[in-house]
Structure 1
């Protein structure tokens, strides 16, 4: 057995032919019903089903009532920060992410892991902040590109500055990981073209979807129903959909827009009022468990996002539910126009309205598109397939003679006695005010 200084990383004995121990970094509320947390959660679940030992390190926020087949370590409770919407904030960057890195380092010191699987840029930064000699190789899971996404957030600098800074990070950060996993071919191609990573160091691993969950009766409706399901962040393009509904209502009065989400309309409420469409818009606040019934009730489901380097999880959900889909081209993902969906030009609100109206007027065509979309995802995109591809990446890295560390420092080492891993547990972590994340006091954190 290798020995070394206290706190240094030690590689486990050769395990790439059997179960692996993975530290998965989730710089987000976890679990939570939107794209990034869903990918992390379903991937971890599927890897656990395949016999691997997964532990997730995440923020203090999330649906802690959901039983999980893996352990979750949370950062200390920050009672003043309850924001669950996507995107960076200064509090996340200056407080949550450093705490995430500190929690990861504690977890890595406590048990010996084969790999760190870091999701999104903030997860990667948290992993890289742990000195190389204290951690195993890092895999970066690229869900999107910052050059595309950052301009949608209000961080102070203007859109142009954020776009340039995002592109700079896209070029500089991914290559610092041992290997990169990308959600789409588009992300892979862009990272290679910009020199961010060499072709042999990046692998496409697409999202899956839980198709069986969408085999449910539809929710009741009394009129033609157009559905949008997802969060209401600015990058979603909800304003385009609202304007398209205004155009449609000038032509017909037999439709309602149903927005299925987890929050109120927020800044979109004023646009709804100014367009005069409030009497035709329903906001339905539900969790993921109730989502399938609302999607099954859709005469048309709309994806109004203009740009997405990854695959919107809502799109896969629409497809799994067999929804007739109208989407802008920039985020259409797996959709093929006239075969599995109706794809229109980016940002063209008139074309979006025309597409919705066309499918409402041609229900046989709409049903055919929805059935074809569902057939595609059922046969090609499952989380078990996603986990199988990720497992192949893990095995390739650990089978590489240089894959068990990042430089000589990663070979210098310590090993502590492993403790049994209880399933269905969430570790208790101390709050900054001296209490515990679950509201209790005294005692010691659950390990």
Structure 2
């Protein structure tokens, strides 16, 4: 499809851009579309920082809502209402060819905008990064709701079922989320496309200056990058660190991400100040310098929501072997055979130790990962998205022509 004048309105109900995985995926989708000459317009919350190459419109500020970490937050509902008003105004002014919603909230907002501008027949697609109910479960939402969870969980499942019937097409971030839509929510396979996370490998091959870290010269360095929240498997990571610290004294951990408060208490309480370096929040553009300073990467997440793990591709692009749990998504991406238990920190510790002790194997896996990461290019993602857009827009034109023809006959 010719995309020179294709105008895409993205709706992102999140403080874009805040250097975390969800935002990195949204950014990569926009960059992939830009490579096809599409024009990206993005509506988002009032906070976050801008990125080159994307026209960003921000909703008016919600007093007291300044949090950029993932998860339910006070003020988020008001932010969504303001984002709805903004998205409607921008859609009315800019006349987009298609609305590309992100996340479940973005889907609802995008659908409302489409309804309010019904005469324009703007196609709606959505990119989902996991299941709504599963994600809330991982964030501890139902645990906090206590007895209300018995009512809320089935109600939210019904809501998610309804939401997934609103868009013309659904892009899924992983095979897990695709299976969730297809098998649990009975979405037709024709309306589903697996859109894996993408990475720009050139940012790693062109990086010549890894950061200097406060570890001894002989230290073996394990890196984790991403949100430092329970939903990301941080409790598993803590247990893995403790197990490896008990076994030997030459393994150190570089943790890149935020919030750091809980892990700061952990490393002080466990007397691991010299073994764990908390870098805190790092600009996405600087991430390669940190990953390239490590020997092995780790991803301790076990997802119940069907969400993929975009950080794996960045680890792979850096040429790092990765210690992670043997989920279907991880095995598919890393090309590994099923092994181990799905949530045992001792399994992660054993895997890290084995990789660090075998330099030949470590280099072999790292090179394999780097080559495989090259298969997940921004350009191929852009062409895939564009092909779906084309099918949707053409089918809409045909239906409109048929409607006009029928009207003339009558």
What is the TM-score when the length of structure 2 is the normalising length?
0.87
Partner of 2:35: 49
Q: Contact 2:176–2:308 at 8 Å: present in 1 too?
A: no
Shift of 1:402: 6.5
Q: In the TM superposition, what whole-angstrom CA distance separates every residue of 1:156-186 from its partner, at most 9, and x where no partner exists? A: 3149656555543432211111211112222
Structure 2 residue aligned with 1:226: 222
Q: How many residues align?
A: 384
Show the counterpart of 1:312.
Answer: 309
Shift, 1:287, TM fit: 1.6
Which residue number in structure 2 is paired with residue 100 of structure 1?
83
Contact in 1 for aligned 2:231/2:301 (Cα 8 Å): yes
Q: Does residue 191 of structure 1 match 2:181?
A: yes
Aligned mates of 2:319, 2:46 — CA distance in 1: 35
3-state secondary structure, aligned to 1:85: coil
Q: Which has the higher helix share?
A: 2
State the Cα distance separating 1:367 from its structure 2 match: 1.3
| Structure-2 separation of matches of 1:303 and 1:90 | 29
TM-score using structure 1 length = 0.80
2:383 is equivalent to residue 383 of structure 1: no
Q: How far does the alpha carbon of each residue in 1:94-145 deviate from its partner, in whole angstroms, 9 at most, with x for none?
A: 2011111110100111121211100011111211233515151210111111
Q: How does 1:338-349 map to 2 (within 5 A)?
A: 344-349=340-345
> 1:17 offset after TM fit, Å?
7.0
Shift of 1:344: 4.2
Q: Say if 1:96 and 1:343 are closer, same or farther in 2 by CA, change over 3 A.
A: farther
How much does 1:190 deviate?
1.9
Match among 45, 58, 78 for residue 74 of structure 1: 58
Q: Distance in 2 between matches of 1:279 and 1:238?
A: 19
| 1:371 lines up with 2:359 in the alignment | no
1:268 maps to: 263
In the superposition, relative to structure 1, how do residues 47 and 17 fare at CA in structure 2: closer, same or farther (>3 Å)?
closer
SS of 1:55's partner is strand
Report the counterpart of residue 131 of structure 2 in structure 1.
145
Deviations 1:371-426 (A, max 9, x none): 10110011x10112111111011000011046888xx9xxxxxxxxxxxxxxxxxx
User: What is the alpha-carbon distance in structure 2 between the residues aligned to residue 26 and residue 284 of structure 1?
Assistant: 27
Q: 1:180 aligns with which of 149, 167, 170?
A: 170
2:349 matched to 1:353? yes
Q: Secondary structure at the match of 2:252?
A: strand
Unaligned runs of 5+ in 2: 404-410
What's the offset of the Cα at 1:266? Answer: 2.2
Q: Is the 8 A contact 2:3 2:38 kept in 1?
A: no
CA distance in 2 between counterparts of 1:312 and 1:392 reads 25
Q: Distance in 1 between matches of 2:294 and 2:204?
A: 13
Give the match's secondary structure for 1:157: helix
Shift of 1:208: 0.9
User: What is the Cα deviation at residue 245 of structure 1?
Assistant: 1.4
Higher relative contact order (CA 8 A, sep 6+): 1
- Match in the other structure for 2:291: 295
1:399 aligns with 2:399: no
Distance 1:314 1:344, change over 3 A: farther
Does 2:204 match 1:214? yes
Is this contact kept in 2: 1:230–1:260, CA < 8 A?
Answer: yes
CA distance in 2, matches of 1:199, 1:173: 16
Q: Of 127, 134, 139, which residue of structure 1 is paired with 2:117? A: 134
Distance 1:394 1:284, change over 3 A: same
**Cα–Cα, structure 1 residues 17 and 353, in superposed 2: closer, same or farther, change >3 Å?**
closer
2:277 counterpart of 1:282: yes
What is the aligned partner in structure 1 of residue 194 from structure 2? 204
Among candidates 107, 110, 113, match of residue 93 of structure 2:
110
- The alignment partner of 1:206 has SS state of coil
Does residue 9 of structure 2 align to residue 29 of structure 1? no
